[in-house]
Amino acid sequence: MKTGGSGAMFNTGAAARGGSPHKFGDQRYASSSSLIDGVEGGPSKPCEAPVQATLVLKDGQRLEGTSFGAKVNRPGEVVFNTGMVGYPEALTDPSYRGQILVLTFPLVGNYGVPSMDTKDRWDLPLYFESDDVQIAGLVVSNYSADPSHWASQQSLGNWLAKAGVPAIFGVDTRALTKGLRERGSILGRLEVEGAPPSPPQEVGFVDPNLRNLVAEVSTKSIRTYNQGGDKPTIVAIDCGMKHNIVRYFVETHDVTLIVVPFDYDLEKNPANLKWDGLFCSNGPGDPSQCRETIKSLQWAISRDVPIFGICLGNQLLALAAGAKTYKMKYGNRGMNQPCVDLRTTRCYITSQNHGYAVDDQSLPEGWKALFVNANDRSNEGIIHVSKPFFSVQFHPEAAGGPFDTAFLFEAFVRHVRGAAPQLTLLDPAIYRNDRASLKRVLLVGSGGLSIGQAGEFDYSGSQAIKALKEEGIEVVLINPNIATVQTSREDASSVDVERHKSEPIADHVYLLPVTADNVRHILDKEKNIDGIIVSMGGQTALNVGIELWRNEDLQRRNIRVLGTKIDAIVATEDREIFSTKLREINETLALSYPATTVEGALEAAHKIGYPVLVRAAFTLGGLGSGFAENDAELRDLAVRALEGGSSTTKQILIDQDLRGWKEVEYEVVRDVRDNCITVCNMENFDPLGVHTGDSIVVAPSQTLSNREYFKLRSTALKVIRHIGIVGECNIQYALDPKTERYCIIEVNARLSRSSALASKATGYPLAYVAAKLSLGQDLVSIRNSVTGTTTACFEPSLDYCVVKMPRWDMRKFQRVDTRLGSGMKSVGEVMAIGRSFEEALQKAVRMVRPGSRGLEGFELQQALIGDERETPGDDLAKRLRVPTDQRLFAVQAAFERGVPLETVHDLTRIDRWFLSKMRRIARLRAAMEGMSDVGNLDLRALRKVKQAGFSDDQVAHYTNCLPDRARRHRLSLNLRPVVKQIDTLGAEFPACTNYLYMTYHGDQSDVEPEDRGVMVLGCGAYCIGSSVEFDWSAVSCVRQCRASGYRAVVVNYNPETVSTDYDVSDRLYFEELSLERVLDIYEQEQAWGLVVSVGGQIPQNLAKPLHDRGARVLGTSPDDIDRAEDRHKFSSLLDDLGVDQPPWRELQSVKDAQAFAAEVQYPVLVRPSFVLSGAAMKVATSDSELAAFLGDAADVSPDHPVVVSKFIRNAKEIEFDAVCRDGTIMNYAISEHVENAGVHSGDATLVLPAQKLYVQTQKQVKRAAAKIAEALNISGPVNIQFMARDNDVKVIECNLRASRSFPFISKTMNCNFISLATRVMLGQNARPFQITTMDIDYVCVKAAMFSFSRLRGADPITGVEMASTGEVACMGADVYEAYLYALEGSCVKIPTKKQADEGKTVFLSMHSPGNFAEEAAKLASLGFTLVGSPGTAKALRLRGVPIEDIPSSTASDWAPAAIELLKSGDVVFCINVPSSDKLNQMADDPSAETNGYRLRTGAIAFGVGLCTNEKCAALLLESL
């Protein structure tokens, strides 16, 4: 296939099918057959004609679905298996003989079936456990007919058809599993439409356990493996022995293995065999059927030859010894059964498949239980007290499953070889419990949210506080992020003191920057702190912990680092040590060399060969990293990383480039007893080369085989044990997509973004468990909080698919490079749950792009084509090849245009399995677009569409009707989503969980509605403008609802939040915040009311549509919300009230807007409605800018008006936050901005109590707010922004919801405004707080946290559209102390006295330097050397300020010389204040790079402190 350069021709689907060739992306699928229920897949046909199949149960149930196996009817015993991989191994396991197997994991067939002809050296099929498919039938939820794997030779359906085994998909396997769990195993029949009549022995319901199944699967002759040489000989009784058992004996332990039939008489020994040990294998059915085997074992017990049994062999050995067995209710079948070794109390994760068990109470004298199941307490093994006889119920050989207990083969072979018995002793660590001696612990937080370190650490820190408080430990917290839940304090004004005592609140909270100096200060001030946790605060906390340890600050104070020790942390952070550690255990690391100089980096790159990956050590989220193709690019990256501010150690790593390989990660947990588990594995949608924080991530992995999954898992356990991690960590791999080769990328020895995702994806509270483990507790003793009955020492089984999708906000920044690479750029993420990949993927798209219909590429592609000289095909190919924040939609556009899957794969290297699912979405869309009316979609077709994740909006759009009509049509067919639980164990155990999601893949809901439910809509993805402050508001609301006697039902989809912790609310729906889904939940829950005012703009925008459809919205009326959100209506209201505002007009056309601007004179402000964080809000200073910005605003809010108003310069901005009841203000707070109006309130520096507001100004603000509150009849929270100049107050905007300043005012005043607002919205008798700002003897300053260092090319200036990613707030005795703390907390590098004494340089460049002369003189008087741009230096010298010109610069192009100065390291701070009239000039000329722009971006690149606002610079100098 040719994929040449410009103008290249590509074969499309039509050409591939033998039609005429088209240009790239010039043909669309439009087959209505995509809407039928047949098996889908392949390039030649979208869908086969469906063949109906039915699973008939003996109790009368009939479960219908679609056949994908052999066209035969078959009876059997219906059982389930909770494994997530390993179907080729399971289906050929003889232990499943005669059983109809239900796989609880809903996505089956993904990696196809390898060849049965591929044999190992023993002539056994390499990938299978016997020579035949052993099951009677297969039942799954979803089947993938388009497998993707290098070893795949055929689809699962084709394989089963050839083997004569029926299979069915489309069944609600979760409901079926729950039924089997409750009733026990049941007989059933698989009946396939058009199948021939069954033979007499298979008519009706036939119990396979009445047959001697072992006789059916056992070998018929004696076979010897690995004969010859001086080896011990083991006789294996084959009751259905798996091939991997043979491999363990002959490959791993090099013994001669003689396999005999199950009925071979050992006593008579007709073949005259000689043996040194006896093995009894696994097998199917009732052990009592194997009388001959039991008889032989009874004879063998009378001798002293070692005996070992597995699975059925355990039961047979017990029967031979004189014990009893019994049939279990439904057996243990899966790969995650925790079994405790009763000799050591160690717990192992095991693979099991059995329906019978040993009654260990019946064991005769001399026999003891060896293992016990940690969940159901059933027997898992027996041992003789004096003779070398033992057996286990599980499968140490795995296949599929984990290899954790393979050491039992070694123990048996040691017996066989006559070695002396080894002592098995308890680990002394079990008597170590740090809890006993711990009284007070310091928890180190992460600080403000930034790209790479976001809200996940609020979640992990809150979980840690909860775990510590449960143990009676006093918690001291340092974290300057005032918006977080973890920095909440006990509310002195709370109406429910007991409630607050039960909440996980730290005993002492220090709102201080997270630095080693501040931690030392706290340790000295807070006496008797005996432990510190540094693993819950991201890289910030980790780096502080390392510094404290290296300086021996902790050792001198006798303070223990809880959890993983610092030496182990350093071993994972220092690449050289890490590489050495891995070599010690023969593990593979991608080629990597550390370097501390540019020359060293070049030398390393030449050793490896280009291209290479450059990474800074000891950083988070790939900061300071990138790919280099040559010396020049490497030199540039190395200089930035070594001389910039990204690395704390000035070490960089030069890594082998493995782009195109798969990226896979595992979350691993280990306790002090060396119990070790993997909680979740995840696979990146994008191939290696895109930072995992910027990649779509799928959990569990979808395209890994059993061999790959468990090989990587075993490596993870080996690495984590060797390093010595205690608690939780993350290991990342690169996996070759064409072989089983892998490399370890890195280990994060702390809680991470992936940890939060894994916790929410599985329901396993990683941070909570890690905190408990840090106290010396063990995994076995901690309970699984979801089931309430099982142990935390287990590996979750998922019966759903999770898709994490990043949220980017790069459109907010001019000139930013949107290409994705090794450095993270996303500001947040969403997590979607479904029972198919398509369902979860489309949910995720709607979550990350609120207002979108779903995954669509076709219309988007039309808008993306830029260069008119390029054809659409060329442009699309380019967008597929280069990873950007828009590539997902380019891929979808390609499929919608008919581009072949192989072409898309070649360009993107995205796995074909993921691409095939996206192609299916495109085909379904095309099929719907071919319909004339939505009514033509019958129940079966519409269910199929909804199961693929299509929203009602999409269905309506593709069938040319309104969304409400599509919804009515769906409901008329009685098609509604069902509610499913996240229960960690694939429905194997009853769950008390309230953790829920909705899906169309099912017939039954797991839960029923309950009374007095209040739905609280959360904040959605963190993004610029909506961050952790809205999660704090939601959690505060939920806690108050529960305290007031209401059931709180949370709807949110952000895995980084505390509100999505399932024990915060009564019910948690991890679901979309779309109108369709919120209505679904509202109707399902029969909710009492909805709260839309605590989650930011996303739920606020739903208020009116929900209200119009009959939902009860609590608090302020949605009609009044609409009056405040609609710019035109609100501006008209202010005019009616006589409340002053800047002159405004609703635009009718660009010409009218320009005429208005001429009337009021530029600058003017363009303001769209119903948006957050000033999206598309711009200050226009010319006609051309105004025309451009009006276009942007229409894009953001096309259905709502855009208002243009006069922008007033040099005005002070004021925040008014309040809680109102029935239009009357109950409590309020007035904060002032340091910056003048023109800087978005989210980026501004806030001061509370206000320090520089006239009393008269505050009175005017209060009067205006009172008028607005009364007019809008506000009941709940409200935020109003004002501007004031010369005591003239004007309203800017009004938000009838919680704002980002609510946690700031609540914590500063120690009164929870959201709790009060919630009581108002619930209609309770709420009393106002008694607040007097005069009594507050401190000042709190909130500063914004920016992530410009992540966004290469972005201009680090602030304006009316928000740019910050987080915030911090610190308190001080006065505004100056608080401001310096806040700046330090927001990672601004403040010039220090030491630097002044050394005469370090401060660089100045300002549009009005004369206004700054007094402050500049102060700076010089402190001892700093001042250097300025030519104009600034000249103006300041005229006013007597000692300032130097930039060396070797020209007046017109001084930036290169300034950047050289920054690079030298002598400049410690840069003050650059551009003209407000010039901020947008690059919009006119995108290629223009002004001197100021280059200076600002240079300061960011080289880690120099930067201030771009004159008011902030003045306050900083006053503070210094």
pLDDT for 188-236, tens place per residue? 999 999 999 988 888 899 999 999 999 999 999 999 999 988 999 999 9
pLDDT of 862: 42
Reported residue count of the chain is 1520
Tokens of 1131: 């501006």
HSE toward the beta carbon, residue 800, CA cutoff 13 A:
32
pLDDT of 769: 93
Cis previous bond, 594, omega within 30: no
Contact 1123, 1134 (CB under 8 A): no
For residue 1496, the surrounding DSSP H or E stretch is: helix 1491-1501
Tell me, yes or no, if 395 is annotated catalytic: yes
CB atoms within 10 A of CB 909: 18
Lowest-confidence pick of 3-7, 430-434, 548-552, 597-601: 3-7
Residue 617 has pLDDT above 70, yes or no: no
Q: Please, is 1397 exposed, middle or buried when counting C-beta atoms within 10 Å of its C-beta (0-12, 13-18, 19+)?
A: exposed
pLDDT of 906: 94
Mean pLDDT over the full length of the chain: 88
Tell me, yes or no, if 311 is annotated catalytic: yes
User: pTM value?
Assistant: 0.91
Q: Please name the residues in contact with 1131: beta carbons below 8 A apart, sequence gap of 6 or more.
A: 1141, 1144, 1146, 1203, 1205
HSE toward the beta carbon, residue 849, CA cutoff 13 A:
15
Find the catalytic residue in 239, 290, 311, 1387: 311
Contact 983, 786 (CB under 8 A): yes
Q: Please, is 312 exposed, middle or buried when counting C-beta atoms within 10 Å of its C-beta (0-12, 13-18, 19+)?
A: buried
1091 versus 12: the higher-pLDDT residue is 1091
What confidence tens digit (pLDDT) does each residue in 1226-1267 have?
999 999 999 988 888 888 999 999 998 888 999 999 999 999
Please give the full DSSP string across 739-787, using - where no structure is assigned: SS-EEEEEEE-S--HHHHHHHHHHS--HHHHHHHHHTT--TTTSB-TTT
pLDDT of 13: 37
Tokens of 740: 């089983």
Find the catalytic residue in 395, 691, 1107, 1233: 395
Lowest-confidence pick of 495-509, 664-678, 997-1011: 495-509
pLDDT of 493: 46
Residue 279 has pLDDT above 60, yes or no: yes
Helices 566-573 & 706-723 angle (0-180, nearest 10) = 130
CB atoms within 10 A of CB 904: 24
What confidence tens digit (pLDDT) does each residue in 700-752 have?
999 999 999 999 999 999 999 999 999 999 999 999 999 999 999 999 888 88
790 versus 828: the higher-pLDDT residue is 828
The β-bridge relationship of strands 995-999 and 1067-1070 is parallel
Q: Please name the residues in contact with 512: beta carbons below 8 A apart, sequence gap of 6 or more.
A: 478, 480, 518, 521, 522, 1370, 1381, 1385
**What is the gyration radius of the CA atoms in the chain, in angstroms?**
34
pLDDT of 239: 97
The Cα–Cα gap between 27 and 43 comes to: 13
What confidence tens digit (pLDDT) does each residue in 1417-1452 have?
999 999 999 999 988 999 999 999 999 988 876 778
pLDDT of 1464: 84
What confidence tens digit (pLDDT) does each residue in 4-31 have?
333 332 333 333 333 333 445 545 555 5
Find the catalytic residue in 89, 292, 380, 397: 397
| For range 394-402, the mean pLDDT | 92
The Cα–Cα gap between 569 and 573 comes to: 6
pLDDT of 859: 54
pLDDT of 29: 53
Contact 253, 413 (CB under 8 A): yes
Residue 871 has pLDDT above 80, yes or no: no
What confidence tens digit (pLDDT) does each residue in 1104-1137 have?
999 999 999 999 999 999 999 888 899 899 999 9
pLDDT bucket at 1520, cuts 50 / 70 / 90: confident
pLDDT bucket at 500, cuts 50 / 70 / 90: very low
The Cα–Cα gap between 754 and 538 comes to: 11
